[in-house]
Structures are given as C-alpha cells and as structure tokens.
C-alpha cells in the first residue's frame, strides 16, 4: 500500500535503543513519582493554610456575633426591667384615654357630617332645575 519511510533497524541499533529506554524508563518513572509527590505536598500545605485562615476568620466572626448578642441581651434585660414601671405609668393616666376617645369621637362625628353634606349636594345636583318658561303642554289632565 504505502512505502515505509523509516529504514529497518539493525540488531545493534535495536539493542542500543532498548537499553537506552530501559535505563531512562525507571529514571523517568522516579522523576514522575517525585514530582507528583511534591505537587501533592504543596497542594496539601496550601489547603491547610487556607483552612487555617478560614478558621481564624470564622473565629473572629463568631466572637463579633457573640459580642453583638451580649449587647442585645443586655438591652433586652434593661427593657424587661423597665417594663413594669412603664405599664404602671400607662395605667395611671386615664385622662389620656379620655382625650383619645374624645378626639376619635369628634373625628367620627365630622366624618358623618361630611358624608351627609356630600349626599345632600349630590342629590340636589342630580334633580333637574325647574324651567322658568311655562309648560307647553297642559298640566291638568282632561277627564
């Protein structure tokens, strides 16, 4: 089919090539294994550094969150401590309740009066105005 472009090797050349690859093969394998081991060790060290840095950041965030929660808890304790006094003060002022009732009652009364005025105006505007001219048809029916 096609011509072989490589010349045939002699036995001596074959032996030399075989010994060369036999000697170089284990060296290449050893270099490859050492290279993979070094790369794996570097990768593991980088991963450990990254995890240590993430752990430090997480600890700092946890400490900040703990401080914020402590501040919130102190604020809640203070509010809870002041709550009975605030409730007592709220119960003591019935005049405020009366004033509020008066204001809302007045607003309700004003709303009702406003709606009555609006309905009256709307009804007057919907009725036709009587004409000033006399009717053209007799108003009294004939029997």
| Per-domain residue ranges of the chain | 11-92, 93-127
Q: What pTM does this model have?
A: 0.38
pLDDT for residue 74: 93
- Residue pair 45/53 in contact by the 8 Å Cβ criterion: no
What is the distance of C-alpha 129 from the center of its chain? 63
Residue 43 tokens read as 């990768």
- The Cα 37–Cα 29 span in angstroms is 12
pLDDT for residue 45: 95
Residue 54 backbone phi and psi in degrees, to 5: -65, -40
Residue 133 predicted with pLDDT over 90: no
Residue 29 tokens read as 């394998």
pLDDT one-digit tens code per residue, 112-130: 999 999 888 887 777 666 7
pLDDT one-digit tens code per residue, 40-93: 999 999 999 999 999 999 999 999 999 999 999 999 999 899 888 888 877 776
């Amino acid at each position: 089919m096609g011509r072989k472009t490589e010349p045939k090797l002699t036995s001596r050349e074959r032996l030399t090539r075989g010994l060369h690859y036999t000697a170089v093969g284990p060296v290449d394998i050893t270099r490859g294994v050492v290279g993979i081991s070094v790369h794996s060790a570097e990768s593991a060290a980088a991963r450990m550094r990254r995890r240590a840095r993430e752990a430090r950041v997480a600890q700092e965030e946890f400490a900040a969150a703990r401080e914020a929660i402590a501040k919130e808890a102190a604020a809640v304790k203070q509010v809870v401590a002041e709550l009975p006094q605030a409730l007592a003060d709220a119960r003591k002022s019935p005049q405020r309740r009366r004033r509020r009732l008066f204001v809302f009652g007045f607003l309700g009364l004003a709303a009702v009066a406003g709606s009555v005025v609006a309905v009256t105006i709307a009804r007057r505007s919907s009725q036709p105005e009587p004409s000033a001219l006399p009717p053209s048809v007799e108003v009294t029916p004939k029997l």
